[in-house]
Structure 1
């Protein structure tokens, strides 16, 4: 299969990157940690104005009727800047879940306009990031939910909570498509985060000097960072291929759920390697909350098990062989 991003995809990636770069997301993430979510909410609303939040929402409900390919392009850039909040649930999972349940109108329109939404789909995703509105799917019933007791996680910008069911919106709702899009969106985030950590490490390696030389000139450091670059570049095509599968642009006998699982495993491995190697290069400064790398380290750890643990996804791949 040959897959090349078009100029439209490149423009989308550039637009999202430029918006988030100008917004100085790390500063806003630290405000989120301190309890002020307003600065991040402003950025999320700005993304909505560019159409990112409505990529998977039909035009009739305020979206752009785009596909999974466009979504992963945007989510990679969102991951590159470590934007806090339930972005996977708002941009990917809920639009597909509502489409599956044949729900249209105001609920989708609110997501397209930048409302933070969240959802839980046990057992794959039993807890949900705290957000403005919440939904729960249990035993095939999709219901409006209220947020229970919040739980801190390894990522200080990611607070999870159990959802309590309320009014039922639909029964007999299939969850596979919503779970798969959540898995794929998380994989795209991890690719972006891995790339950002590689950049942070490479920049530091060029600036930090030992024995009168930049540490980036040492062969051992070069090999460490080259391993990360290879892992990311090998994982990205798997994410794009899985997106094509979800969009229905692959042969009919393609096991799309297997491809989604493989993409998340590869992306998670690449991001985990990037985190480890970046921390090795930066040393103790990378642990400090003052350094941006710390935001990526904790978020990487949190997202590795979000929307499918590595073990469960590897098991899915194994069962498909």
Structure 2
């Protein structure tokens, strides 16, 4: 079996990476945290033009009819650039949730065209990031929703809200597939963020001189960064194995939900380690809001518990063994 990504996947990753690099996401993320969403929405529109927003949406609704692997490739790059907003909910969770519930038409096509939407699925995701369109699944009932009390997180670009149900769209809706794709998409984001923080720390270690040489030449710093590199490379196959499982490309009897949980745990651990080690290498400057590392530090902390807390996911793994 070939475990390498295809040229198509590499091209998708390169396209998303180039688009987000050119867009200068850190500056747009800071604008988002101050309430100016227009700069980020311009990027969302550009991603929609490339087909990223519609990867999991059927062609009949304006999507690409792609799979979890393609979504994971795109979300890793989105994480690498720390793009703010309810991206997981828009690109991953809602397309799967709508498909499961039999919702079609304008609500689905709007996602493919670049509209941002959010959702809450208690108890795994009891709160939702703010967006113009909101949806809620409670006791198997899918409905539109309105945002209530707002909850600030450590990430200034991520404001959550409690949702109240509105118009009922479907009932007896199974949510496991939507929850799993949300968990996987968040894992992919964390994987990308871990890689980005490793790069930031490595570049700084090469440029920062102390005692007449770069601090990257010191063995202690090398060990710090090597630990992160190992954690990232150990998490990546788990993330993509989970994507293969969701796409049905694994042997019969594979516990896909366990694999998804393992992917999020490993990616979260890698991102958390990367955030701590990068801050150690950069020192106090990495914690200042002026440095891009601060965007990754706060987002990592916020996403660790999104779409499945580490404790809940570890419990799922333990129960499956």
> Displacement of 1:33 after TM fit?
1.0
Q: Which residue of 1 aligns with 2:232?
A: 232
What do residues 206-230 of structure 1 show as CA deviations (whole Å, max 9, x unaligned)?
0000000100000110010010001
CA–CA separation in structure 2 for the residues paired with 1:317 and 1:151: 30
C-alpha deviation, 1:35, in angstroms? 1.0
User: CA-to-partner distance for each residue in 1:218-275, whole Å, 9 max, x for gaps?
Assistant: 0110010010001000100000000000000011110000000000000000000000
CA-CA distance at 1:45 after TM superposition = 0.7
Output the CA distance in 2 between the equivalents of 1:300 and 1:71.
Answer: 20
Deviations 1:168-216 (A, max 9, x none): 0000000000000000000000000000000000000000000001000
Quote the residue 2:142 is aligned against: 142
Instruction: For structure 2, list consecutive stretches of 5 or more residues without a partner in the other structure.
Output: none
The equivalent residue for 1:305 is 305
Aligned pair count reads 321
Residue of structure 2 in register with 1:172 after alignment: 172
Rounded Cα–Cα distance in structure 1 between residues aligned with 2:20 and 2:187:
19
Distance 1:142 1:187 in 2: 25
After TM superposition, the structure 1 = structure 2 runs for residues 94-243 of structure 1, keeping only pairs within 5 Å, are 94-243=94-243
**1:314 counterpart = 2:310:** no
SS in 1 for 2:249: coil
Q: Distance in 2 between matches of 1:32 and 1:261?
A: 30
Distance in 1 of aligned mates of 2:218 and 2:141? 57
Unaligned runs of 5+ in 1: none
Where 2:53 maps in the other structure, the secondary structure is helix
User: What is the DSSP-based 3-state SS (H/G/I as helix, E as strand, rest coil) of the residue aligned with 1:52?
Assistant: coil
CA distance in 2, matches of 1:257, 1:151: 29
Q: Normalising by structure 1, report the TM-score.
A: 0.99
Counterparts of residues 62-77 of structure 1 (less than 5 Å): 62-77=62-77
State the distance in 1 between where 2:75 and 2:178 align. Answer: 16
* Structure 1 residue ranges, 4+ long, deviating more than 3 angstroms after superposition: none
Q: 1:273 and 1:284 mapped to 2: Cα distance? A: 17
Give the structure 1 partner of residue 284 of structure 2: 284
- Normalising to structure 2: TM-score of the pair? 0.99
Report the Cα offset of residue 152 of structure 1. Answer: 1.0
Give 3-state SS (helix, strand or coil) of 2:224's partner.
helix
Find the residue that maps to 1:249 and give its secondary structure: coil
Task: Name the SS for the 1:65 alignment partner.
Answer: coil
